[in-house]
Amino acid sequence: MSFKHRDFDHNSADFRKDPAAVYRELRAAGVGQSEHYGGFWVVPTYETVQAVSHDIETYSPADGTMLPGVLDRPLLPMESDPPLHSEYRRMLAKRFSPKTIREWIPLIREAAQALLKDVLANEPHDFSLGYAKLLPTAVICQMLGIEFKAELQEWVEDVVYRRISDRDATDRAIAKIHNLFRDLLPGRRANPRDDLISLVLQSEIDGKPLDDETVIDFCFFLLIAGLDNTNFTIRALLQQLAIDHTLRQRLVDDPSLIDAAVEEALRYFSPVIALGRTARNDTSLSGCPVHQGDKALMLFGCANRDPAEFEEPDKFDIDRFPNRHVAFGVGPHRCLGSNLARVEIAVAIEEVLKVLPDFELAGEVDIRWDDLGPLLIKPRTG
């Protein structure tokens, strides 16, 4: 085990500032153990991430996937094992299928256009706070059947980003989100709608309805799961297009290339840096002895830059084929919301290019794989 392993903290500010350099060192070092968060195995390569993801008999998400954790209980449905996990996914699968998500495109586009109108009406044009951050929030609010409020995004950021720096802020945000859904349940139970809250309320496992706290946990996860990761990718791809004028013009000339640009953004920026598993029994990984109860952290961002799978992995290339990235995970626990995220990102980019086909950064931008700062964009003048 190298010093690089022992000292590795995927939440540290230095790492989040520039992950690519650390990724190269970790892949070269291979599997090893970090001393942070009670200790965990670092799983850095495309091959080892695939191995852990698919071995659901050995590696379980039920004891937590985030280091440190969010709740004092599992995040449902993500942090559960089969057969329960399979039942949970079956409840939601139809609502997140490619066919159903395509039906949401007009509403996603309408939300994007409304947000863009507000952003462009005020200078400087902040495409992060006013657009990238709010579009996924507006969409999931419609899907849940709740009122769209910008503060929901703030609560989610407190949950995701303040777990280490300000745990009290995280706990307050969790309580606010839980209370929001708790207050909604009686009315939604009495008058069901065609929304995700009603779907979960009316679902059964082994012939029994879910209790209120389980329903609230489901709604909590559905709210937080797709916001930050999706808005990060929208922001990152907009910044890439503001810098790479040739690429932006290609997408303006041929919008059919936007989907490929989305896939490359997901690989290159990897909004979900890592998720963890817990070993259910003694095993080995790349020759390292993994013991029952050990944590293993799959570094999706690191795997997505692995030269063993991707040629010139540190190059942003929308012509990359194949592009078998693991931005949404792989295996039975692959992200259920991947279809929605892809569509949201694509529509967000398409709508910007319609109204602002030639643009550039309006100031210096701090790219962090962390809390999202502003992204000031202006029409290109030269």
Query: What is the reported pLDDT for 381?
Result: 77
Q: How far apart are CA 357 and CA 251, in angstroms?
A: 9
Q: Rounded distance, CA 324 to CA 220, Å?
A: 30
Centre a 10 Å sphere on the Cβ of residue 267 and count the other Cβ atoms it contains: 24
Is 304 within a domain? Answer: yes
Domain for residue 355, yes or no?
A: yes
Q: Name residue 177's beta-bridge partners.
A: none
Round to whole Å and give the CA distance between 257 and 225. Answer: 27
Q: Are strands 204-205 and 208-209 parallel, antiparallel or unpaired?
A: antiparallel
Residue 327 near residue 271, CB atoms below 8 Å: yes
pLDDT for 150 equals 84
pLDDT score at 367 = 59
- Residue 163's domain comprises 3-70+84-364
Instruction: Identify whether 299 is part of a domain.
Output: yes
78 belongs to a structural domain: no
Domain membership of residue 101 (yes or no) is yes
Strand partners, 284: 289
pLDDT in tens, the chain (382 residues): 556 788 999 998 888 878 999 999 999 999 999 999 999 999 999 999 999 999 999 999 999 999 999 998 999 999 999 999 999 999 999 999 999 999 999 999 999 999 999 999 988 899 998 999 999 999 999 999 999 988 898 899 899 888 888 999 999 999 999 999 999 999 999 999 999 999 999 999 989 999 999 999 999 999 998 788 899 999 999 999 999 999 999 999 999 999 999 999 999 999 999 999 999 999 999 999 999 999 999 999 999 999 999 999 999 999 999 999 999 999 999 999 999 999 999 999 999 999 999 999 997 776 555 556 789 899 987 6
- Classified as helix, coil or strand, 328 is coil
What's the CATH number where 289 sits?
1.10.630.10
CB-neighbour burial class of residue 6 (10 A; exposed 0-12, middle 13-18, buried 19+): middle
Count of domains forming the chain: 1
**What backbone torsions phi and psi does residue 232 show, to the nearest 5 degrees?**
-60, -45
Alpha-helical runs (H) found in the chain? 3-6, 13-17, 19-29, 46-54, 84-93, 98-103, 105-120, 134-144, 151-165, 167-190, 196-202, 212-225, 227-243, 245-253, 258-269, 300-303, 338-355
pLDDT score at 3: 62
Tokens representing residue 157 in the block: 């950021």
What's the CA gap between 365 and 376, in Å, rounded? 8
- Residue 229 within a domain: yes
In whole angstroms, give the CA distance from residue 96 to residue 2.
42
Is residue 379 included in any domain, yes or no? no
Query: Is the residue at 376 inside a domain?
Result: no
